[in-house]
Structure 1
Amino acid sequence: MRLALGVSYAGQAYDGWQSQPSGNTVQDRLEAALRQFTQQRIGTVCAGRTDAGVHGLMQVVHFDTDLDRKEHAWVRGPNSFLPGDIAVHWARPVPADFHARASAIGRRYAYVLLESPVRPSVERGRVGWVFRPLDPAAMQAAAQQLLGEHDFSSFRAAECQARTPVKTMRRIEIARRGAYWRFEFEADAFLHHMIRNLMGCLLVIGKGDRPVDWMAEVLAARDRRAAAPTFAPDGLYFLGPVYAPHWGLPDRTAAYDWLP
């Protein structure tokens, strides 16, 4: 039987999603909990890897098992062995041809940013931070230049393993609530560090250090050296993959509604 799980996690304490020799990744902790629950070694495949310090509001994983347990048992069982900053929210049986990564037709991220003269305190590690005022109209105009299919090489980390830098940006929304900004991105797929590199450029423009049209110049350069430095991971959240309706999977977890 193939199962899919919806998982949320706070990323501050972990070296990213993907398993590493340190054992200090979200995947390592999830697979250890599944092993304790099932007394079997279970390998998981995720919808989208996240870097160290990046959070997941609905990571989706799949795995195969010959155990027959009810859906709620696959939620409560692993959760009893997981640390408090990782939780399984739902479990669903899926067809054998479902693949958490390959079946996704899109992915969604949000970046939460505090604009304040004072650095974050209680929300430390959960939000990015700028102390200079931002121009929403300038950032909105710059974001429009990123929509559609483009070569995003200027926003790609050197260690990115994607086969092509060409991606389709479907949606960018920028909203403010009090001192907090929320930047939401949806694309068919993203490159390594792509969101954090886009954020670096949007904030340079928002602070008035570069004109709006500079974003188009960076995009056209297809050269990472043309863009702003990579922004902090703290406020970055993987909102989850987008699947076709016929898979019958939830499109969010309860953690999704926590964001400003």
Structure 2
Amino acid sequence: MSDEVEPGFVRVRFDLGYDGTGFSGWARQPSGLRTVQGEIEDALKTVTRSGVMFPLTVAGRTDAGVHARGQVATADLPEAVWAEHREKLLKRLAGRLPRDVRIWSAAEAPSGFNARFAAVWRRYAYRVTDRPGGVDPLLRGHVLWHDWPLDVDAMNAAAAGLVGEHDFAAYCKKREGATTIRTLQELSLVRGDDGIVTATVRADAFCHNMVRSLIGALLFVGDGHRPVEWPAKVLAAGVRDSSVHVAKAHGLTLEEVGYPADELLAARSKEARNVRTLPGAGCC
């Protein structure tokens, strides 16, 4: 999606959430598997009675089984369609969409807004419990059960060595032509009174499987199978490590996406499209 809207169209921002349990990820798939994008695009086509599909651009393409509370997406709608439906669009979508995906707001986006490239950070939460009895049955679809006691202090010490701008190739599933350089802005864990350990993971962007791989490494530290220094050593090696397990998807939720002030949106989108290298690294 271009940063500029074509004449005669309005860019609409949707803020939404979904339970990822029944979805094969965000992105529509040619195989016909159920996806969040597919459900919303189909619902938009139906409630606007337009007869055409309005493609969505999303802030973060979540994997199968991953949830979202603060996802952001946009679609460019014809001005006449937006004018006709804007007042009742939310209610009509609520009546058409399945109950495991909800749209909280639909509003005209500011000039230069691109849900993906204008974002300055994405914040995820990963929830896990080590309670001997397992997970509360009402939370089983959103909390991982780890059957070893976890030392949260050790996990936080290990996490500190991962924060900053790095090449996260060791924690990503490589995609052709895509950089694995990211700025990890926050990685911290807190145990609640209910025994659930919540990891907050915030970065300018994430590569494929990055969050769940980081959590997988920290779980090995927390249960004593690896020393505190191990995750940072894996990072420094710069290659995918088979000993790093990808934590299960259902513990992960996209909580929030951050954007700059309206006047900075276009500049941010342009910056995000640049292929990054680490300081001192050669090009190409």
Is this a same-fold pair by TM over 0.5? Answer: yes
Q: Does 1:99 align with 2:114?
A: yes
1: CA distance, partners of 2:212 / 2:72: 21
Shift of 1:48: 0.5
Q: Which has the larger radius of gyration?
A: 2
Shift of 1:240: 2.7
2: CA distance, partners of 1:4 / 1:46: 10
- Consecutive unaligned residues of structure 2, counting only runs of 5 or more, are 1-9, 264-284
Q: Which of 189, 192, 197 is the aligned partner of 2:205?
A: 189
2: CA distance, partners of 1:106 / 1:153: 19
2: CA distance, partners of 1:185 / 1:168: 11
Q: Secondary structure at the match of 1:62?
A: strand
Q: Does 1:152 align with 2:162?
A: no
Counterpart position of 1:32: 42
- Residue type of the alignment partner of 1:88: I
Q: Secondary structure at the match of 1:92?
A: strand
Shift of 1:69: 4.5
* Cα displacement string for residues 211-240 of structure 1 (whole angstroms, at most 9, x for unaligned residues): 101111111111112542111001100113
Cα distance change, pair 173–98 in 1 and its aligned pair in 2 (3 A): same
Instruction: Identify the range of structure 1 (183-192 vs 37-46) with the bigger mean alpha-carbon deviation.
Output: 37-46
Cα distance change, pair 146–126 in 1 and its aligned pair in 2 (3 A): same
Counterpart position of 1:51: 63
- Residue type of the alignment partner of 1:47: A
Equivalent residues of 1:154, 1:227 under 8 A apart? no
Instruction: Identify the range of structure 1 (81-90 vs 71-80) with the bigger mean alpha-carbon deviation.
Output: 71-80
1: CA distance, partners of 2:64 / 2:16: 16
Q: When the two structures are aligned, how many residues end up with a matched partner?
A: 247
Shift of 1:23: 4.1
Q: What are the equivalent positions in structure 2 for 1:160-239 lying under 5 Å apart?
A: 160=175, 163-177=178-192, 178-225=194-241, 227-239=243-255
1: CA distance, partners of 2:106 / 2:124: 22
2: CA distance, partners of 1:82 / 1:97: 28
2: CA distance, partners of 1:207 / 1:64: 48
2: CA distance, partners of 1:59 / 1:162: 25
Q: Secondary structure at the match of 2:241?
A: helix
- Residue type of the alignment partner of 1:85: D
Percent identity, aligned pairs only, is 36
Relative to the length of structure 2, the TM-score reads 0.83
Equivalent residues of 2:125, 2:200 under 8 A apart? yes
Q: Does 1:16 align with 2:19?
A: no
Q: Which of 115, 123, 127 is the aligned partner of 2:143?
A: 127
Equivalent residues of 1:2, 1:62 under 8 A apart? yes
* Cα displacement string for residues 52-97 of structure 1 (whole angstroms, at most 9, x for unaligned residues): 0000111111111122146552321211100011000011201352
Counterpart position of 2:273: none
- Consecutive unaligned residues of structure 1, counting only runs of 5 or more, are 248-260
